[in-house]
Structure 1
């Protein structure tokens, strides 16, 4: 299992164990992480699962696809490390991943 930590805007942390092949968004929803709305259910069509990848993890996670970049235009307070969590597949290399939840979605 791969550990993912979601950091809320108030600094509180939610740590979850995730199965490889799932997405960061799916694990947030399954574990009730506040602030991850995921209105489209992971289809990359809403930008309500926006997260900020911790700087230590940006290279390992990688950048967004062209489709994801287009959807990020609809996210709130987009930054260099913004990603849609529905597009980040859990894999062994992401064990210990830290993502920050924005103050609001879309």
Structure 2
């Protein structure tokens, strides 16, 4: 029964393009990474010593930044093109990863 269901599932998606499979894999990895957020409040309070209101402010700031960043990214993509928006956002994010290391 289980093998028949698995075969039916695989045959339904067998004709998809390789790029679609890569996009699905990358999206899965991206979404799997978001599973850390429910545990981030615990880590911030128990391991790093933040108070509960501070941890709530950090998580709320992240959520607000995600919402407004999505809106801004969409408008910029419409105005200047998605490639430039993706390139510069990834480039700037890469540079910003070095700043926490300067405060250690």
| Bin for the TM-score computed over the shorter chain | under 0.3
**TM-score of the superposed pair, with normalisation by structure 1:** 0.21
Q: Greater relative contact order: 1 or 2 (C-alpha under 8 angstroms, separation 6 or more)? A: 1
**TM-score of the superposed pair, with normalisation by structure 2:** 0.21
Higher strand share: 1
